[in-house]
Every structure is written in C-alpha cells, then in structure tokens.
Amino acid sequence: MNLIMLGLPGAGKGTQADKISSKYEIPHISTGNIFRNAIKNETSLGKKAKKIIDSGSLVPDEITNNIVQERLQEDDCKQGFILDGFPRTINQAEALEHFMDNMDKKLELAIYINVARDELIKRLTMRRTCKNCGAVYHLEHNPPEKKGICDKCGGKLIQRSDDKKEVVLQRLKVNEEKLKRLIDFYDKRDKLAKINSNAGIDEVFKEIDRILKEKIL
C-alpha cells in the first residue's frame, strides 16, 4: 500500500501517518523528520537545511527529491510506504511519479486532511515536541503528564523553532498555494481522498481507515 498524506502544516499528517504505519506495518517517511534528524546530527544536509527550515521556507526540490528517491529504494518500502510532507510542490509530485514508475510501484491514494486556517495556527503554536524522540504534544488537547517532559522517553519538550507564530504564518503562506495545485494534481489522477479534520485524532483515523478499506484493501 503506497500512500501520501497531504495537508497544511499542523493538519495532523504525521499523527495519522504514524497510526496508519502501525496498523498496516508500512514505514512512515516524513521529510520534515529526515531534515530535523540531519540538523540534530549536524550532517552536511542538516547544515544546509537549518536556515531554510528556521525561516519557514522549503528545502530545494533537487535535494528533497534525491532524499526521497533513495529512501524509497530501501528494503522496508517493498511492502509499501506512507509519505508525510512530500510531495510539497508539483515538481516533487512529478519526480515521485517518475521514480515510482521506474520502480514499478503504483500510488494508491493521496489522503488530504483539510483543517481551517485558524485552527492550524492554534495547533502549531501550541505544539510541543520531544527533543529526544520527536513525540508530539499539544498544550491543551494532548498535554504530557508532567509539564515539559515527554511521556514516552522522559526527554525535554521544546517548541520547534518553526512553530513560533511568525514562522507558522510564513509556512502557511508558502504551502497554501502549492497545496491547491497538488490537490488538483491528484484529483485529476483520481487518487485523492479528502477528509475534514474537525474531529479528534481517533475519529479522523477511523475515517481514513474506512476509506482505505473501501478504496484499496
């Protein structure tokens, strides 16, 4: 099962991708996480990506496309994968189509999670992330048991530098127009499933699961 998650930053792509990944045993590939790990490990990619990510802009397509192409060739992607945060531009969508063709892989579905803009701003600015394991919390809706400490690993919870309000606004601006074009791209290929995400995490997952069963399984 080869899937893509589409949606603006904060829509819950990562959270839902994690759930799909656990249930269907396919790897969750998040380009944002790949970049954040590279930054943490101070690799040459991390050094290039840090400034771009901190400003809320996009890492150049050429770099991002190569990373995903290599990742999809790894063994654990043989049974399928779920991409989160990629593609973000039409150039990336075309590159993905091209390298999936070359690998004889077929995209089953692009799942688009639609959330109102005001809600996204609230979610992102109130999001806290574990510095150690990347687990995500929300100060109101999903707070950790102990303030500032990750329930899963005891790591310190921080606000991602790109979750600060001014950067959030810039990220939304950068992504909104591009997302419209991606929605159109997958709709034309009859691969789009749209989900309105006003409900909680579990309800949204139930809806995604229902669609997967109806359309793919």
Which residues carry out catalysis? 13, 88, 127, 160, 171
- Token reading at 99: 């390298």
- d(CA 211, CA 194) in angstroms, rounded, equals 10
Using CB under 6 A as the binding rule, the residues of this chain from 100 to 159 that contact ligand AMP are none
Which of the ranges 48-56, 144-152, 180-188, 197-205 carries the binding residues for ligand AMP, by CB under 6 A? 48-56
- Are the beta carbons of 130 and 153 closer than 8 angstroms? yes
One-letter identity of residue 117? R
- Are the beta carbons of 167 and 54 closer than 8 angstroms? yes
Asked if 53 touches ligand AMP (CB under 6 A), the answer is yes
- d(CA 73, CA 12) in angstroms, rounded, equals 26
Query: Is 119 or 146 the residue whose CB approaches ligand AMP more closely?
Result: 119
Comparing every residue's Cβ against ligand AMP, the nearest one is 32
Q: How far is the CB of 205 from ligand AMP (least distance, A)?
A: 19
- d(CA 115, CA 119) in angstroms, rounded, equals 7
The CA angle 149-33-91, to the nearest 5 degrees, is: 150
Query: Is 54 or 216 the residue whose CB approaches ligand AMP more closely?
Result: 54
- Token reading at 87: 């593609």
Count of residues near ligand AMP by CB under 6 A: 17
Closest listed residue to residue 209, CA positions, set 17, 10, 44, 8: 17
Query: Is 159 or 216 the residue whose CB approaches ligand AMP more closely?
Result: 159
Which of the ranges 81-89, 126-134, 142-150, 198-206 carries the binding residues for ligand AMP, by CB under 6 A? 81-89
Q: How far is the CB of 214 from ligand AMP (least distance, A)?
A: 27
Interacting residue ranges for ligand AMP, rule: CB under 6 A = 9, 31-32, 35, 52-53, 56-59, 64, 85-86, 88, 92, 162, 171
